[in-house]
Structure 1
Amino acid sequence: MNILVTGATGLIGDQLCRFLYNKHQVSVLTRNIVKAQQQFRSRVTCVDTLGHVDFNNLDAVINLAGEPIADKRWSAKQKRAICESRLDITEQLVTKIAAAQTPPHTLISGSAVGFYGRQPNDVVIDETCHRPYQEFSHQLCKQWEDVALRAQSEQTRVCILRTGIVLSQHGGALKKMLPAFKFGLGGPLASGEQMMSWIHIDDMVHIILYLLKHQELSGIFNVTAPSPVSNLDFTKALGQVLHRPTVFKMPEKALRLMFGEMADLLIYGQAVIPKRVLKSGYHFRFSDINDAFTSLLVRDR
């Protein structure tokens, strides 16, 4: 297949492209062509504008672009950057797909479990949940999804990825946590009772490949492991695999002082399960948080 990937140099996109370019023709949209060519060793075609892409010759588009949501405090300026980095490129893709005479048959577009907003710890959330908590993460994901879904037609199917916390030793949340935990300074956040919906990077990539292959599938998909865990259990599992104590609890007030409104992502959570992915027949490589950490941190080491 001829596939266009946005956000290819990010954590998920990087791992995905390394699978794709062995079997498919891959083009990546990037702001830094030289860097991307070095990253992928010139095994992909790099473009810095969609004007250089013929959408009549594409089979699929995988849209993963977006400013990291948890890298900086949520000032008004940062919120705009987070939104615009997702909405603008998605708008452009949808416009190009609509204008093509022979458009790509598939658009796979990112979102996040933040769509549901904070949820009670004892409530299991699947794709049928229609009571999201109205906060920034929901509003962002709702707008993002609505734009992408406009590409749905008789010729093009759309798959939306409501992704959980992606676990990888090469980046993302886990890489940020590791220094403190390795020094024995890790611990629960706030109450520790908030639920964390996570997914191993291998399953993240293979679910995208699975959706790419199974063209009968479309719509909303939770992309999380089937077993969400509390922050306390997540913390204990990480400490155990590193053989480090996890007694340094971070109070909610401290998180508020450090991160402002963005602390909501750490203080609250949601127990999300991938009902539609499981029903479709996908088999998870990592359903248990202990196995996931062992894979990433013990076997890798």
Structure 2
Amino acid sequence: IVRAITQLDPKPRVLVAGSAIGWYGDTGDKAVDESDRAGTGFLADVVRAWEAAADPAAEAGIRVVHARTGLVVAKAGGAWAKLFPLFRLGLGGKMGSGRQYWSWISLRDELAALEFLMTSDNVSGPVNLTAPHAATNAEVTAAMGRVLGRPTLLPVPSFALKTALGEFSSEVLGSIRVVPAVLEAEGFTWQDPDIESAIRAALA
């Protein structure tokens, strides 16, 4: 696709390429932003190779933005689609230790950020698409309980999550504490800056 784009005449002014915060690997409690190098692990390696595939577009003079998306809070798709039914049944609880950070973004903020990046001519390179503040899994769990009016007293051990969620288990057990420094510097405004409002928006 990138090769075809570079051969167009005229060429597009911008390529917003989908990427992921998996670039950073598991960061634990450390906050990271776009200036940080790639982490280690399979997902970090995949994301690094994926972003490198867009290099020819940048070399051809096209403004390239790597949209590193966090966990999108939405009813359909991804880990959240599996989590909402469990919490509705009162079977939700903190996952693993509950101390792992989730760097998330509401669906409407994700879409707004992508549009923002398409029209921000001075922005290029990696951009983290997450809310301003990551939340621990324990904080997310408490917010889910408040919004859904369900108890969240049952902790879910790591092995059970790996069985239930399969490949998505790494999304909920890993800790990636991301700061959207570029969006903040460019003056982007979030509709859902906190996790509770994002959950309410997803269920509206």
Displacement of 1:268 after TM fit? 1.4
> Number of residues paired by the alignment?
204
Pick 1 or 2: higher relative contact order, CA cutoff 8 A, min separation 6. Answer: 2
Structure 2 residue 56 is the aligned partner of structure 1 residue 150:
yes
CA RMSD, 1 decimal? 1.7
2-structure distance, mates of 1:293, 1:169? 9
Query: What is the TM-score normalised by the length of structure 1?
Result: 0.64
1:1-301 alignment runs, 5 A limit: 93-121=1-29, 123-130=30-37, 132=39, 134-153=40-59, 155-258=61-164, 263-297=169-203, 300=204
Identity of aligned residues (%): 33
Displacement of 1:292 after TM fit? 1.5
Displacement of 1:98 after TM fit? 2.1
Displacement of 1:131 after TM fit? 5.3
1:125-181 alpha-carbon deviations (Å, 9 max, x no partner): 11111251x111101111100001321046311000110000123443322211111
2-structure distance, mates of 1:262, 1:140? 16
Higher Rg of the two aligned structures: 1
1-structure distance, mates of 2:7, 2:200? 47
**Matched position secondary structure for 1:160:** strand
Structure 1: state its 5+ residue gaps: 1-92
Aligned partners of 2:82 and 2:165 also within 8 Å: no
Aligned partners of 2:18 and 2:68 also within 8 Å: yes
Query: What is the TM-score normalised by the length of structure 2?
Result: 0.93
Structure 2: state its 5+ residue gaps: none
Q: 1:131 to 1:149 in 2, by over 3 A?
A: closer
